[in-house]
Structure 1
Amino acid sequence: MNQDRPPLDPHPLSEYVAWAGSRNRDPLLGVLKEKLPKDPSRVLEMASGSGMHINYFAPHFDHLHFHPSDKDIEVFNNIKKLSTEHNNDNIADPAHLDLTEPETWFNPGPPNSFSAIFCINIFQVAPITIADGMMECASHLLTDEGILLIYGPFKVEDSFTTDSNKEFHETLSSAGVPEWGLKDVADLRKAAERHGMELKEQIDMPVNNFSLIFGKKN
């Protein structure tokens, strides 16, 4: 266990989330540099939280326009504050997007208007049931060749890939919140298939995480 790790707290403005985010941002940036479109287009982040990731990534992609979103409007001021502090003029104002409320799904933009969507570290504290909303929403918002990148720790075929991931799952489960815990890649894949999407690529990441790349079925 890392002694510098703050106490577990999934609130988007917590010290724990900031610590976790600083650990994964550079490996994720490397994947985004490979996977994001090279032509000018729009990129959506689901569950932007504090805005730390989108504001870290945006300066590396002058040709892209980034759109933060979250179900909790309380984080919007922090997202905008970071954008101003970093002079990120390619980040739009945050939009209200709740994956359990279809009426919010087009707040970030019209159908087929995003070349990429990414979502970071959400499923370990979110119920797997939001996977259906995420896949259906993505199927509406993405262009035909667009991608949905989901990053985080997951089980694979109902097994933990490392002892540390099992320990993390047990730590989450001990909090007594039913939806906390590592979810299975297979369940995300099934949700994708129900909504015209499919898992295109599964990328191993540092500290036993994955980048899962989904796209529309051909």
Structure 2
Amino acid sequence: MNKPFSQACENNKTPILSVLKPYLEQYDYVLEVGSGTGQHAVYFAESMPHLVWQTSDRLCNHEGIEAWLVESSASNVRKPLSLDLNQPWPVQQVPVIFTANTLHIVSKALVEKLFVGVAQHLANGGLLCIYGPFNYDGAFTSASNAAFDSFLKTQDSQSGIRDIEWVCAKAQQAGLKLLQDHKMPANNRLLLFKR
């Protein structure tokens, strides 16, 4: 098959890596929740060979992820696990969980289930890394984010850009503390939480 391709992934992979890399030096395994096309997984695994990068997503996305993995030179990226936020996660304890561009795509109820999963499966001392757009004080950070939110809601009324305060409250309930809130290009953020 032709590999799926996301221009957003292509644009943001290098800025994300530059922030993530120093934090992940002390870890050896990352579970990526919602690997999407598989582009991030391949790029990050190739750039951080000390890590095992475990992809995961719903079954409908596995073929595309595997197409990227087949063409990758990285030996440290793993075939996708079937992970649906409505179902029990197929892992035990993991040291790092990474997810990109998921919280605004899935429903608020599924974001809550994501944090339930994090609470169950992120090891003590572990990191949760979340990339995407967020609102602050209930307001969009840019006109483009407001337009993006409107577009998302035309696709799925349950989707939309989440308030950072709500996300941090959910993280706190899961036993996490916000380490850093990094400003990223294109009005995105990279949130790093530690358990």
> Structure 1 length normalisation: TM-score?
0.82
Work out which of the residue numbers 147, 153, 157 in structure 2 matches 1:178. Answer: 157
> Contact 2:69–2:79 (CA<8 Å) still a contact in 1?
no
Aligned to 1:62: 49
Partners of 1:200 and 1:42 in 2: how far apart?
A: 19
> Contact 1:132–1:195 (CA<8 Å) still a contact in 2?
no
Work out which of the residue numbers 179, 184, 189 in structure 2 matches 1:200. Answer: 179
CA deviations on 1:6-28 (whole Å, 9 max, x unpaired) are: xxxxxxx866xx11111111101
Partners of 1:95 and 1:35 in 2: how far apart?
A: 24
Aligned to 2:116: 136
- Given the alignment of the two structures, is residue 45 of structure 1 paired with residue 32 of structure 2, yes or no? yes
Cα drift, residue 157 of structure 1: 1.8
Aligned to 1:9: none
- Given the alignment of the two structures, is residue 116 of structure 1 paired with residue 96 of structure 2, yes or no? yes
Q: Does 204-213 or 177-186 show the bigger shift?
A: 177-186
Partners of 2:13 and 2:177 in 1: how far apart?
A: 25
Aligned to 1:75: 61
Letter in 1 for 2:175: G
Relative contact order (C-alpha < 8 Å, sep 6+): which is higher?
Answer: 2
Indicate how the Cα distance of structure 1 residues 214 and 161 shifts in structure 2: closer, same or farther if over 3 A, else same.
same
Letter in 1 for 2:191: L
Partners of 1:86 and 1:125 in 2: how far apart?
A: 27
Cα drift, residue 87 of structure 1: 2.1
Aligned to 2:75: 89
Q: Secondary structure of 1:38's match? A: coil
Aligned to 1:22: 10
Partners of 1:143 and 1:180 in 2: how far apart?
A: 29
Aligned to 1:34: 22
Letter in 2 for 1:110: Q
CA deviations on 1:123-148 (whole Å, 9 max, x unpaired) are: 22211222222222122322211111
- Given the alignment of the two structures, is residue 159 of structure 1 paired with residue 139 of structure 2, yes or no? yes
> Contact 1:135–1:197 (CA<8 Å) still a contact in 2?
no
Aligned to 1:98: 84
User: Normalized per residue, which structure has more strand?
Assistant: 2
> Contact 1:115–1:142 (CA<8 Å) still a contact in 2?
yes
Q: Secondary structure of 1:88's match? A: coil
5+ residue gaps in structure 1? 1-12
> Contact 2:118–2:174 (CA<8 Å) still a contact in 1?
no
Cα drift, residue 213 of structure 1: 1.0
Matched residue pairs, number? Answer: 193
Indicate how the Cα distance of structure 1 residues 190 and 198 shifts in structure 2: closer, same or farther if over 3 A, else same.
same
Q: Secondary structure of 1:129's match? A: helix
Letter in 2 for 1:22: E
> Contact 1:117–1:149 (CA<8 Å) still a contact in 2?
yes
Q: Secondary structure of 2:105's match? A: coil
Partners of 2:161 and 2:114 in 1: how far apart?
A: 17
Partners of 1:79 and 1:172 in 2: how far apart?
A: 23
Partners of 1:185 and 1:100 in 2: how far apart?
A: 23
Cα drift, residue 176 of structure 1: 5.4
Partners of 2:131 and 2:118 in 1: how far apart?
A: 15
